Chain A
Amino acid sequence: MTRIIVVTSGKGGVGKTTTSAAFATGLALQGYKTAVIDFDVGLRNLDLIMGCERRVVYDFVNVIHNEASLNQALIRDKRIDNLFILPASQTRDKEALTIEGVKNVINELSESFDYVVCDSPAGIEHGAYMAMYFADEAIVVTNPEISSVRDSDRILGLLASKTKRVIEHRTPVKEYLLLTRYSPERVKNGEMLSIEDIQEILSIPIIGVIPESQSVLTASNQGIPVIINKNSRAGLAYNDCIGRFLGEDIDLRFVDTKKNGILSKLFRGR
């Protein structure tokens, strides 16, 4: 049974695409055949983070409009055999996505894929709605910052009312909180909302905390999903998220300032 995961947030710039790339890569590395779809039509960026921008020929909108087959548009990842990217169109606008069109693509992917990761655009308009509509699970990416938390709460409201599962009276979309750009030092100094503060406000289970890390920018510069970098705290934290998502019991790490041992010195800033 194919599982559809939406990576969403409401607010822009919190790490949706970084997370989509990490999740899709992580699931593929675990042996699952995974496709990641860029729903940000007009502002295509997932291909850059995945490092396949020069291999884009056809896109999601071409497939929806029957201008190309799904197999023509899917890009096989250079590094991992069972990972595929469906890029967004750079020239069309979000209205080019229709429920019917998205449904056809997801149904076709469901014939052979284990996971489909939907990278949502920012905002609460049509594109974000299309990305979440078919979801079984939702990763709500949130920064420890007041406007991001508020927008995440808004998105949770939409997930609970506008998705196919809710409309069909099935069990609701499973929601997970993913905190990104977390800085334990700033939390300790009282300058940043803590994990507990945010969980208390949003009250959904947490799937992981990604520490603020220079390696995220480095990874994006190089077009290599950060989860591949085993020397990066962010990469390791994403890897833990995949384990938790697949049912393993893994403690959060890089979330407090106490452990000033060799490990944290080794990983400082990474």
Chain B
Amino acid sequence: MGLFDYFHANRKSANVAKERLSILIARDHFHRNQPSFLSALQNELLEVIKKYVDIDHDDVVVSLDREEDCEILELNIALPEKGRYTSDPDSLDQKNKI
């Protein structure tokens, strides 16, 4: 048994519960406080990007953060590895031109 396992086995389960809950509730609150249009925005963006690139729902992440009196809309799109671009000939042509 390694040192990590030793400490892990001796950790009180109530502390584990509190730590898990704190993270969980912070995440719940984050999602609860997002404006309702964000998921619609995410879906529409996904539809547009899908015309050109083959991506999954989870590859587009839209979030809104607040920093003092400034709101930051963050858009994160994970493009797939090469070979997963859509096979639509038009869009392939476009890609070759680039």
Q: Which residues of A does B touch, CB under 8 Å?
A: 145-146, 149-150, 153-154, 157, 187, 189-194, 197, 201
Q: Which residues of B does A touch, CB under 8 Å?
A: 12-15, 17-18, 20-22, 24-25, 28, 32
Chain A residues lying within 8 Å of B21, measured Cβ to Cβ, are 146, 149-150, 193, 201
- A157-B32, A191-B12, A191-B13 known; A150-B24 Cβ under 8 A: yes
A150 vs B14: C-alpha distance in the bound complex, in angstroms?
Answer: 15
Q: Is the CB of A190 within 8 A of B12?
A: yes
Chain A residues lying within 8 Å of B17, measured Cβ to Cβ, are 145-146, 193, 197
Chain B residues lying within 8 Å of A190, measured Cβ to Cβ, are 12-15
Chain B residues lying within 8 Å of A187, measured Cβ to Cβ, are 14
Chain A residues lying within 8 Å of B24, measured Cβ to Cβ, are 150
Query: Within the complex, which residue of A153, A154, A192, A201 is in contact with B14, where a contact is CB–CB below 8 Å?
Result: A192
A157 vs B14: C-alpha distance in the bound complex, in angstroms?
Answer: 24
> Measured between C-beta atoms, what is the minimum distance from B1 to chain A in Å?
20
Q: Is the CB of B22 within 8 A of A201?
A: yes
Chain A residues lying within 8 Å of B18, measured Cβ to Cβ, are 193, 197, 201
Chain A residues lying within 8 Å of B28, measured Cβ to Cβ, are 150, 153-154, 157
